[in-house]
Structure 1
Amino acid sequence: MTRTPHRIRPFSASQRLPATAAPSEPMPPERAGARLAEFIHRHPRLLILTGAGVSTDSGIPDYRDVDGGWKRRPPVQHQEFMERAATRQRYWGRSLIGWPVIRDARPNASHAGIAELEWRTHCHLLVTQNVDGLHQKAGSRAVLDLHGRADRVRCMGCGLRLARDDVHARCADLNPAFLGHTAHSAPDGDADLDVDFSGFRVADCPTCGGILKPDVVFFGDFVPRERVTRALEALRACDGLLVIGSSLMVYSGFRFCRHARDWGLPMATLNRGRTRADELVDLKLDADIAGTLAVTLASL
């Protein structure tokens, strides 16, 4: 199966979901868990797609509110990062604060529940939009990191791979004056820090002097074709699709709902608030993720 890769891009204004007067009340976990257990009983072999909502209980913020809108400024764009030195200075400067939040995060009950679903053979493949590696730390084995991993850095010139901690340490050594800043952390190793970054010294590739970039798919970049192909082949072999903790506001995740609909596969979503696929799914659960999964596992 060969598919054309798609750029990661924000949900456009013309595609936004209609506004509501107030967010809906979440479904009680007891009810949501029972309904999800019924879905899994009927469709026992699932592709599970996860998003930022799975990691918020681990202290990693998400980007969007319950209506799918931005909670904070949109993330860095790939082309801007590659073309503007000032953008790289700002990104790596903020990462001195933001990266340790991801590095030191620990799996929460939602990660553990999803790993348990795999152990019980209900998860054929876990496709995650998150870059924090927490699913693996929780014990999940069949994991596809759709957008890459934040703990790795790649040279955009020679392709050298480095550990994020090593690059972080070099940036800290080059910029001791920036270590005194504090700010709220943001998703994906960023931070809400607004200072003058013009004097920040960015660590370049130690081999060729090229641009170092986290080995993740930034907005405006392409998801590698082989990852998309593997995920779609797994989806086609499954009984259904379960989306957990994602608003599906970017096409890289929403595409799997489109394909599931085209292939006649049942779909369920477990997420606080609305998702882009609300009109496509067979079961929508607006509920607490960890609590719902606990009830589901006890009911299977």
Structure 2
Amino acid sequence: MRMRPTLSWTPTGDVPPGTTDPEPVAAALAAGGVLVLSGAGISTESGIPDYRGEHGSLSRHTPMTYQEFIAGPQARRRYWARSHLGRRAFDRAGPNAGHRAVAAFERHGLLSGVITQNVDGLHQAAGSEGVVELHGSLDRVLCLSCGAVGSRRELARRLEEANPGFDPVPAALNPDGDADLTDEQVADFTPVPCARCGGILKPDVVFFGETVPRERVEHCRELVGAATALLVLGSSLTVMSGLRFVREAALAGKPVLIVNRDPTRGDRHAVTRVALPLGATLTALADRLGVPVPSADHSAR
């Protein structure tokens, strides 16, 4: 549920290869003032799949666009049925070593901020504060008529009441909390309207086909301008909503460092791309810098 990607993008031109040497990342963190930009890849170790990569969901699943969502009740029925079921799996997911390491870096004053492209709330669950949710959060819903913002937990309660016994087996789970269900499985699902005005409810996230709110983009630009370096974690940077900050940082002469196993669209702007698993790499960096990382605590969810 992000802006529509360039699904066919592949690295071309003079793109530097990945490395297994995290030294530049360690040096940047030690200096402090690093801004983190995270993507779906940081949450895969929590059991939430990413869009791309070897097992990325885009190989079998096209996320619903905003235009589809507002076009008619059938699309919204399909979305809310799949999202209601998928949300249960999201609620069971806990922050992994990568999320906990980012939170530990922040507590020790090494970061200037965290921007995430994810909608899963796992950075906050790990203890990160002041996270900018570039694409919104699945924890909130908003009414397209009156603008009321509500709790996803409360909506889940209402959906349970409206759909007793709804418990189909999904084919797969997607990064946006959407479970793969057939048309037959969602045919009898009943969405619920806004409790205040009866209007259409939408998750408070940026769908493919939508744009990130201008004020949020400007806030992120301010964070990039104030940072000493930009550290990209687990993002292919295929969509412009994240890539623009990489370009702006590089243009301002700030080092861009990427930790991602696969090539990204931002590699040409980076001083390095560390092609190693995120959780283990960030934990090792924390240990090297003398930053203790708490053990797993799924109760934080």
TM-score (norm 1): 0.88
Which of 222, 227, 243 aligns to 1:238? It is: 227
Superposed counterparts of 1:5-16, under 5 Å: 8-11=3-6, 13=8, 15-16=9-10
Match of 1:282 in 2: 271
Whole-angstrom distance in 1 between the partners of 2:181 and 2:58: 17
Q: Please, which moves more after superposition, 60-69 or 238-247?
A: 60-69
- What amino acid does structure 2 have at the position aligned with 1:172? E
SS for the counterpart of 1:36 is helix
Whole-angstrom distance in 2 between the partners of 1:93 and 1:141: 32
Match of 1:118 in 2: 106
Which of 68, 77, 88 aligns to 2:76? It is: 88
SS for the counterpart of 2:268 is coil
Match of 1:295 in 2: 284
Instruction: Give the superposition deviation at 1:268.
Output: 0.3
1:201 aligned onto 2:190? yes
RMSD of aligned C-alpha atoms? 2.2
SS for the counterpart of 1:131 is coil
Instruction: Give the superposition deviation at 1:16.
Output: 3.6
Instruction: Give the superposition deviation at 1:44.
Output: 2.2
Match of 2:262 in 1: 273
Which of 90, 97, 104 aligns to 1:102? It is: 90
Which of 214, 217, 222 aligns to 1:225? It is: 214
1:215 aligned onto 2:194? no
Instruction: Give the superposition deviation at 1:99.
Output: 0.6
Contact 1:153 1:214 in 2 (8 A): yes
Given the superposition, is the C-alpha separation of residues 182 and 58 from structure 1 closer, same or farther in structure 2, using an over 3 Å criterion? Answer: same
1:97-116: per-residue Cα shift (whole Å, max 9, x none)? 20111122111111110011
Superposed counterparts of 1:47-62, under 5 Å: 47-62=35-50
Instruction: Give the superposition deviation at 1:175.
Output: 2.3
1:17 aligned onto 2:5? no
Contact 2:57 2:175 in 1 (8 A): no
Q: Using the aligned pairs only, state the percent identity.
A: 42
1:74 aligned onto 2:68? no
Instruction: Give the superposition deviation at 1:278.
Output: 1.1
Contact 1:81 1:88 in 2 (8 A): yes
Match of 1:172 in 2: 160
Gaps of 5+ in 2: 290-301
Which of 213, 217, 239 aligns to 1:250? It is: 239
Match of 1:21 in 2: none
TM-score (norm 2): 0.88
Contact 1:9 1:251 in 2 (8 A): no
Gaps of 5+ in 1: 1-6, 19-23
Given the superposition, is the C-alpha separation of residues 69 and 188 from structure 1 closer, same or farther in structure 2, using an over 3 Å criterion? Answer: closer
Instruction: Give the superposition deviation at 1:246.
Output: 0.7
